[in-house]
Amino acid sequence: MMIFLVSPVIAEGEWRVFTSELGQQLEAKVVKVDGDLVTLQRRSDGRKFVLEVDELSDEDQEWLDAWEEGSPPPTPAKEAEPAEGELKKSLYPRSKKEITAGLKEILGRKIPDGIDKTAGKAVNQLNAYRFLCGVPSVVEADATMNEQATEAAKACDKHGSLSHDLGHFTNICNLSGGPDVVGSVRSYIDDGGANNREVRGHRRWCLNPPMGKTGFGGADRFAAMVAMDSSGDGKGRDSWAYPGKGLFPLEYLHGDGWSLYLRESAPKKDDVTVEVFKLSDRPLKPLTWADKTPGKELEVVWVSTAYNAINFEPKEANKKGIYWVRVRGGGVREQYLVELY
């Protein structure tokens, strides 16, 4: 979140917790909105900050769209969350409270001595996505790997474009255009573009359960992440997904590609059927294959398989709602719920 400090002057308005797209939070009230910039006043000390609107969560951006200076709309009442015992763990592995606490702990982890601050923040960001997707979120920053990633980014810089064939560790790295090392994590998870659509390999490496350590580095025009480590304890897990199964914060969903990861190799795409439904209500229990799925069936405009991944693009599934996913064929028989909030 890019923040510019201005003078501490008390203003009238309603206090609200604003959240950046990276999960950082600031309790403040709106002073004014000026084009792409918003001025917020922090509650703890009365100081004002100016930041870019598009760096806030989608929910905050929608709220600001309706804001009028001197007359802010009331903050909607939060949807009552079921008691802990009422959330079926088979459908909802974590509650919203657990997700909020988990992200706060991960993003606030102290960067180890000897680790570049930017690389350390990137590792924390990577672990946040891994936590939400149900794989081990204890990947550590490695100083040697940071050097390797930096060398890879510099090799791309010298070459003038991204390539995994330049030596200098480019063959073991995720590579990203742009020097923003922390922001590159989001681009790897999004994994957009026609050249990535079939495999979405950057995302697959980021969410690989046995990853135990990694390194990040940048140059003038490119960034890199060492991606092929398998020193962690993540083998033999059940399937996992992006977006993650159960509750999933909408600000961590990027692009329109979803992925289901299997413990074994995925079948050929022609053998797989993927169905996605938008439900009107939370199901009281897991749906069986014999159940008629309540809600609206969404068009799935793309399905591909690669390695252990089934990648698919459900139309109109990038907004708040409860979604039921069914994947079957070629020996696969998986169904699960995703609730974007």
DSSP state of 20: B
In this structure, the answer to whether residues 260 and 196 fall within a common structural domain is no
Q: Of the candidates 198, 226, 254, which is a domain's last residue?
A: 226
Looking at the structure of the chain, the number of domains it has is 3
Please tell me the distance from the alpha carbon of residue 257 to that of residue 247, in angstroms, as a whole number. 17
Cis peptide bond N-terminal to 243, omega within 30: yes
Q: Of the candidates 226, 248, 264, which is a domain's last residue?
A: 226
In this structure, the answer to whether residues 106 and 196 fall within a common structural domain is yes
Q: Which of 296, 335, 199, 205 is nearest to 257 (CA)?
A: 199
* Residues recorded for the chain: 341
Please tell me the distance from the alpha carbon of residue 28 to that of residue 15, in angstroms, as a whole number. 5
Give one DSSP letter per residue of 264-297, joined into a string. Answer: S----GGG-EEEEEEESS--SSPPPTTSPPPSEE
In this structure, the answer to whether residues 306 and 178 fall within a common structural domain is no
Return the bridge partners of 14, or none: none
Q: Is the CA virtual torsion 10, 11, 14, 19 positive or negative?
A: negative
Q: What is the pTM of this model?
A: 0.76
pLDDT of 116 reads 94
pLDDT tens string for the chain (341 positions)? 444 343 333 334 578 888 887 777 888 888 888 777 888 888 887 888 888 887 888 788 878 877 654 444 544 444 445 554 556 888 999 999 999 999 999 999 999 999 999 999 999 999 999 999 999 999 999 999 999 999 999 999 999 999 999 999 999 999 999 999 999 999 999 999 999 999 999 999 999 999 999 999 999 999 999 999 999 987 656 899 999 999 999 999 999 999 999 999 999 999 999 999 999 999 988 898 888 887 899 999 999 999 999 999 999 999 999 999 999 999 999 999 999 99
Query: Would 82 be classed as within a structural domain?
Result: no
Please tell me the distance from the alpha carbon of residue 317 to that of residue 340, in angstroms, as a whole number. 9
